[in-house]
């Protein structure tokens, strides 16, 4: 079975540009998470969805960040405009319901560099 698929794997962009990160969760999973990892702050939960509905977006750092999940098989995390301090690894993860197992599986991450 395919795991969580993220794209792009690596992106280098200039400050002020829009960045869109994409995620395809594991088929049948109804929870989707977006995390950001930096050396300074570790792994931070940005937002998570259940059945395509955002449940908790308290970790989204500011209005420049937005996330959508238009259907069960696709989610985007958008940064507009991007800033150098947004440079990080962004992980998408998914899981099923408690009755089908709680294990949360991660994608390989999107490595973002803003110059």
Q: Which residues bind another protein (CB under 8 A)?
A: 31, 33, 42-43, 45, 48, 50, 55-56, 89, 91, 93, 97-99, 102-106, 108-109, 111
Alpha-carbon distance 105 to 113, whole Å? Answer: 24
| 32 Cα distance to chain centroid | 8
If the CB atoms of residues 35 and 114 are measured against another protein, the closer one turns out to be 35
Beta-carbon contacts of residue 16 (< 8 Å; ≥ 6 apart):
81, 82
Q: Residue 76 Cβ, how far from another protein at the closest point, in Å?
A: 19
CB of 81 to another protein, least distance (A): 26
DSSP, collapsed to helix, strand or coil, labels residue 57 as coil
CB 59 within 8 A of CB 49: no
Smallest distance, another protein to C-beta of residue 78, A: 21
Q: How many residues does the chain have?
A: 115
Q: Which is nearer to another protein, 42 or 70 (CB)?
A: 42
Smallest separation (angstroms) from another protein to the CB of 102: 5
Q: Is 46 helix (H, G, I), strand (E, B) or coil?
A: strand
Q: For another protein, give the closer residue by CB, 37 or 81.
A: 37
């Amino acid at each position: 079975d395919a795991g969580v698929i993220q794209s792009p794997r690596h992106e280098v962009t200039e400050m002020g540009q829009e960045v869109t990160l994409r995620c395809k969760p594991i088929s049948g999973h109804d929870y989707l998470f977006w995390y950001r990892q930096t050396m300074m702050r570790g792994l931070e939960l940005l937002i998570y969805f259940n059945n395509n509905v955002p449940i908790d977006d308290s970790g989204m750092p500011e209005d420049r960040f937005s996330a959508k999940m238009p259907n069960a098989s696709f989610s985007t995390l958008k940064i507009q405009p991007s800033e150098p301090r947004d440079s990080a690894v962004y992980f998408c993860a998914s899981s099923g319901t408690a009755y089908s197992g709680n294990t949360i599986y991660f994608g390989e991450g999107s490595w973002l560099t803003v110059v």
